[in-house]
Amino acid sequence: MHATRIVAIRHGETSWNVDARIQGHLDIPLNDVGLWQAQRAGAALADEHFDAIYSSDLQRALVTAQALGQATGCPVQPDTGLRERCFGSFEGRTFHDIEASAPEHARRWRKRDPEFVPDGGGESLHMLRGRIQHTVDRLAAQHLGGQIALVAHGGVMDILYRLATRQDLQAPRAWELGNAAINRLLWTPEGLTLVGWGDVSHLQHTSRDEFVS
């Protein structure tokens, strides 16, 4: 079979997610809720076989991936190609802060200008899409006929969805990017296809008290 099944998972929650603060390449840890979410995602997928688990090397994704690795017995392989979009000097700030200090930059970001590059070495959406497409092609091509997990970030999940549904970078987002949501795609040399998106059933009907004290 000339296809690779992909389970794509966004990292668990961080305190900066709660504060709506831009993380980018900054290495922010999971909070207690995020640790619980990671454990639940791992438990939900414990009976599935993975040929490989690939993760962004940033700890919020890596710790989420390690919970899946522990549940399935599959080792985690960090890959910098799965990092979140680099937001340069925007990292550590909120959109409200940026709108107040750099309204034109905020406007271009809000309008999803695909060529807009945040100051301080950031990435444009066009650059991010190229990086993610190259990374997914490189990793998935090694596992034709098998299944892999990709554990990464909200911006990465957004690009995966757009690639799989052939949506333009500037198309308004009408899909969820939930923390620790389970998303499924199929990769062939011709590209990605969407199988299922935004499954958070594993985060419902179970008390957090099992993992959060």
84 as an active site residue: the answer is yes
CA distance 176 to 111: 18
- What DSSP string describes 41-99? HHHHTTTS--SEEEE-SSHHHHHHHHHHHHHHTPPEEE-GGGPPPP-GGGTT-BHHHHH
**Is 13 marked within a binding site?**
yes
Q: What are phi and psi of 65, to 5 degrees?
A: -65, -35
| Whole-number pLDDT of residue 213 | 39
Higher pLDDT, 206 or 151: 151
Neighbour count for residue 162 (Cβ, 10 Å): 19
Say if residue 111's pLDDT is above 90: yes
Q: Tell me how far apart the alpha carbons of residues 42 and 183 are, in angstroms, rounded to a whole number.
A: 13
Residue 21, annotated as binding a ligand: no
Q: ∠72-41-160 over CA atoms, to 5°?
A: 100
pTM of the model: 0.94
pLDDT of residue 212: 46
- Closest to 129 (Cα-Cα) out of 105, 165, 155, 91: 155
Is 12 annotated as belonging to a binding site?
A: yes
Residue-wise pLDDT tens digits, 2-50: 899 999 999 999 999 999 999 999 999 999 999 999 999 999 999 999 9
Residue where the block lists tokens 């092609």 = 137
Of the residues 25, 84, 105, 153, only one is catalytic, namely: 84
Q: What string of DSSP letters covers 11-36?
A: ---BHHHHHTB--TTS-PPB-HHHHH
25 is catalytic: no
β-strands 147-152, 4-10: how paired?
parallel
Query: Which one from 11, 25, 105, 143 is the annotated catalytic residue?
Result: 11
80 in a labelled binding site? no
What is the reported pLDDT for 153? 98
Question: Which tens digit of pLDDT belongs to each residue from 117-163?
Answer: 999 999 999 999 999 999 999 999 999 999 999 999 999 999 999 99
